[in-house]
Amino acid sequence: MMAHSASRGTHGAEVRVLADPAALTRAAADLFVTEARAAIDARGRFAVALSGGSTPRALYGLLATEAALRDAIAWDRVHLFWGDERHVPPEHEQSNYRMVREALLDRVRIAPENVHRIAGETSDADAAAQAYQAELRAFFGLAEGDSPRLDLVLLGLGADAHTASLFPGAARTLERRDLVVAHWVESAKAYRVSLTAPVLNAARTIAFIVSGADKAQAVQQVVDGARDPLRYPAQLIEPADGRLVWLLDRAASSLLPPRA
């Protein structure tokens, strides 16, 4: 593993470069287990927001299939949330919930009441966002104006520098008041529901998991580029008082200047 020291764009974040996608997935799994055990030891539960995408999916599959990882987590203490969801029913092929169900939920024992999915089947995406906002407020016992403090937020990165469903130019990408937003995403030709940047940033630990040469330019723009969050939404991710970790494979980090 090559380490890149934090550059300006990462605001003191930890940037870890792994040799290849398999090593990246393993590093992400090790981080997930570490964060889960620390949260459960400290607070009796682990609240994690999962990301959609193919890179995070590999992580969920490894956690579910490698006994040393799977058995290291007290799954009955784990509460799963989603950083974002497509506005589709849970059995739809585009559903992030379905992806997690197939990769993880069908293989580990998590009580249904600990699975806090975004209801993509609602009549309109705003209703899904409102319902999810209410669920977050209830679970975390939030007063008006408070942000939930997730123990871990997992994020992917699109080649367009989107993260979660905060997309370049989308109507509510820069939202700071609500906890959850719904908006039309032109590039996806679909409505998306997403946690907002303040909620993502309130987490104890935020981990980007990014693989592939096709993401290298987005990584460079977000980490080292000029600040333009509406163009590069992943630049919105700056933990309020938590930890930010970039887990990259060598291909995704290839445009970052080498550090000592």
* Footprint (CB under 6 A) of ligand 6PG, residues 107-126: none
Cβ proximity to ligand 6PG, 96 vs 201, nearer residue: 96
Q: For ligand 6PG, which stretch binds (CB under 6 A), given 10-18, 106-114, 150-158, 245-253?
A: 150-158
Among 55, 196, 235, 253, binds ligand 6PG (CB under 6 A): 55
Cβ proximity to ligand 6PG, 252 vs 256, nearer residue: 252
Cβ proximity to ligand 6PG, 212 vs 242, nearer residue: 212
d(CA 45, CA 94): 29
Neighbours of 201 (CB within 10 A): 20
Among 95, 96, 196, 235, binds ligand 6PG (CB under 6 A): 96
Nearest to 173 by CA among 202, 121, 160, 245: 160
DSSP letter string, 123-158: SSHHHHHHHHHHHHHHHHTPPTTPPP--SEEEE---
Cβ proximity to ligand 6PG, 77 vs 154, nearer residue: 154
53 interacts with ligand 6PG by CB under 6 A: yes
- Measuring CA to CA, how many Å separate 87 from each of 40, 123, 189, 190? 32, 9, 11, 7
- Torsions phi, psi for 162 (to 5 deg): -75, 155
Residue 42 Cβ, how far from ligand 6PG at the closest point, in Å? 27
d(CA 103, CA 108): 10
Q: For ligand 6PG, which stretch binds (CB under 6 A), given 1-9, 16-24, 105-113, 152-160?
A: 152-160
d(CA 157, CA 106): 26
Amino acid making up residue 168 = P
Question: In the sheet where 2-4 sits, what is the strand order?
Answer: 2-4, 14-18, 243-249, 205-210, 152-155, 46-50, 78-82, 115-116
> Bridge-partner residues for 184, per DSSP?
191
Pairing verdict, β 152-155 and 205-210: parallel
Residue 155 Cβ, how far from ligand 6PG at the closest point, in Å? 7
Q: Is the dihedral of CA 252, 255, 257, 260 positive or negative?
A: positive
Q: Number of residues in contact with ligand 6PG, rule: CB under 6 A? A: 14
* Footprint (CB under 6 A) of ligand 6PG, residues 168-227: none
Cβ proximity to ligand 6PG, 84 vs 249, nearer residue: 84
Residue 189 Cβ, how far from ligand 6PG at the closest point, in Å? 13
Among 84, 135, 151, 249, binds ligand 6PG (CB under 6 A): 84
Residue 126 Cβ, how far from ligand 6PG at the closest point, in Å? 18
Residues engaged in binding ligand 6PG (CB under 6 A): 51-55, 83-84, 96, 156-158, 162-164
